[in-house]
Structure 1
Amino acid sequence: MRICLVGAGRVATQLGPALLRAGHIVSAVWSRTAASATVLAEQLSGAHSTTTTDLRQLEVEVVLLAVPDAAVEPLLAQLQLPAHALVAHTAGALPLAVFAPYPHLRGGVFYPLQTFSPGRMVEWVTLPLCIEAADDASQATLLALAHTLSQDVRLLSTEQRLLLHTAAVFAGNFTNHVLGISHALLQEAGLPFELVAPLVRETVEKALAYPPFTVQTGPAARHDAPTLARHQAALHAHPTWQEVYAAVSRSIQEQQAGRQPAGFDSGGGIRTFAPLC
């Protein structure tokens, strides 16, 4: 397929080369910053780089909006895109309805569930790609495109994708943040972060092997009030981290008291909603 990438940031710089390796042609890269567009275009076998908002002359099948969530709607209002172009955003929390004001466009979603960081390459073949589209033809095109990149392609509704994105923030962003707190506390004690590496690996492996709530351990799960109090006291110099510790401990205890979130069946497993396509 002939594709235009709108954006030259973290997602675009990994998505562009992946599309190229899959045999597609990235014919143009758009960015507000000429230098960013040029740098990425040069990595994509001579793709055209541009900063103009008038893209109507592009001969492409798909326009992928690989930009921050907050930029999608303003860009849709500013960019002039090819008539009847298939335009898909890559955002997890944005609804398909952002395309509703633009009936001349065929709207869709091409959401890669992964964290993208400079200097780290992702494994696209196992990366979940979540698809949604306004019509069957657009859906078929996005599914075909996704299958050239990944073995895990799923059709998700806007509502499912929003919950998935929320869950991903807990699993990824929040996990990274609490690991950062752990790292900082160990630094304060003059201890290496490597000390908790075996614990982190075992925790993640166990959580992936079983429903995580069923293998919860620690002082909150044990209702060990003296230890919880000592930990809170140890965090006296970090009142925000004290709040985090208290909130997570309370959540653990409330969950174990039987307040299971929606989406869990009586056996503790997660109900599956979206088909694998």
Structure 2
Amino acid sequence: MRIGLFGTGRVATALAPALVAAGHELAFVAGRTHTSVLALAALAPGCAALVLPLTQLPPADVYLLAVPEAAVPELLAAVAWPTGALVAHLAGALPVAVFAAAPQVHGGVLYPLQTFSPGRTIDWPAVPLFVEAPELAAETTLLALARSLSLHVAQLDSAQRLHLHLGAVFASNFTNHVLGISHQLLAEAKLDFNLLAPLVRETVDKALSAHLGPFAVQTGPAARHDAPTLAAHAAALAAHPAWQALYTQLTLSIQAAEAARVARPASPA
């Protein structure tokens, strides 16, 4: 397919070479700064580097909006889209209904469930891709595009995708923040953060493989109501009141989840 790519951030930078590797033609990259679009366009032979706003849009089979969610409505309003163009955003929490503001286009969603960071190589065949489009022709095209990139493609409506994105924020972004707290606490004690690596890997592996879900394999002082340890930890966090409050809230949440799990009736044999 001939693809027009809007955006020069983390997602666009990971997606552009993947599209080329999958055999697609990257017609152009469009962004706000000349330097960033030049750098990304250089990854694809013959790719044009366009700076927003655009007075004329080159033809493409699919226009992909790899921009922050808040920028999608603005972009839809600012670009003179060809009538009948297929335009898809890549956002997790943005409903497909956002395209109602641009009735001249066929709107859709191509959502990659992955975290993107500079310098990290993405294994695109392993990335789950979720497609949504109100019209059959747009859906068919986006499914074909998704399947050229990934071995894990599914259709998901906006409500399901919002819940998936919310779960992903807890699983990835919040987990990363908590690991950041761990990193700083160990650094303050002059301890190597890599000491936690085996524990973190086992925790994730166990949570992903737990038959009854991660709550069923919860361990630690909160789950066992170890009051002396909980008090010692709270005292050790005195210099970090925000983290101390977070520790308390997570402890209460763990204990509530554990109480609900224990009280849940056993499934019949």
C-alpha separation in 2, matches of 1:55 and 1:134: 28
Q: Who is 2:151 aligned against?
A: 151
Seen in structure 2, the aligned counterparts of structure 1 residues 47 and 55 have a Cα distance that, compared at 3 Å, is farther
How far the C-alpha of 1:109 sits from its partner, in A, is 0.5
Distance 1:135 1:265, change over 3 A: farther
Q: Residues of 1 paired with 2:217 and 2:57: CA distance?
A: 56
Amino acid at match of 1:2: R
Three-state SS of the structure 1 residue aligned to 2:250 is: helix
CA–CA distance in 2 between the matches of 1:266 and 1:7?
50
Which whole-Å deviations, capped at 9, do the CAs of 1:57-94 have from their partners, x for residues lacking one? 42211000001111111111101122211000000011
CA separation of 1:53/1:84 partners in 2, compared to 1, >3 Å: closer, same or farther? farther
The two structures have a TM-score, normalised by structure 2, of 0.95
State which of 234, 238, 242 in structure 2 corresponds to 1:232: 234
Q: Does 1:14 align with 2:51?
A: no
Equivalents in 2 of 1:133, 1:259: separation in Å?
38
Q: Which runs of 4+ in 1 moved over 2 A?
A: 52-57, 264-267
Could you list the runs of 5+ residues in structure 1 that have no partner in the other structure?
Answer: 268-277
Secondary structure of the residue that 2:223 maps to in structure 1?
Answer: helix
Report the CA distance between 1:238 and its aligned residue: 0.2
Map Cα deviations across residues 222-263 of structure 1 (whole Å, 9 max, x no partner): 011111111000000000001111111111111111179xxx
What is the alpha-carbon root mean square deviation over aligned residues? 1.7
The size of the alignment, in residue pairs, is 264
TM-score normalized by the length of structure 1: 0.92
Change beyond 3 A, Cα 1:266–1:74:
farther
Report SS of the residue matched to 1:115.
coil
Please give the residue correspondences for 1:253-264 in structure 2 after superposition, counting only pairs within 5 Å. Answer: 253-258=255-260
Pairing 1:135–2:135 present = yes
Matches within 5 A, 1:56-205: 56-205=56-205
C-alpha separation in 2, matches of 1:18 and 1:116: 13
Identity of counterpart residues, as a percentage?
A: 57
Distance 1:113-1:265 versus aligned 2 partners, 3 A rule: farther
Q: Match of 1:223, SS?
A: coil
Q: 2:135, 2:114 → 1: CA distance?
A: 26
1:239 & 1:122 partners in 2: Cα distance? 37
Q: Would the alpha carbon gap of residues 95 and 265 (structure 1) be closer, same or farther in structure 2, given more than 3 Å must change? A: farther
How big is the shift at 1:52? Answer: 4.2
Aligned residues of 1:133 and 1:139 also touching (Cα < 8 A): yes
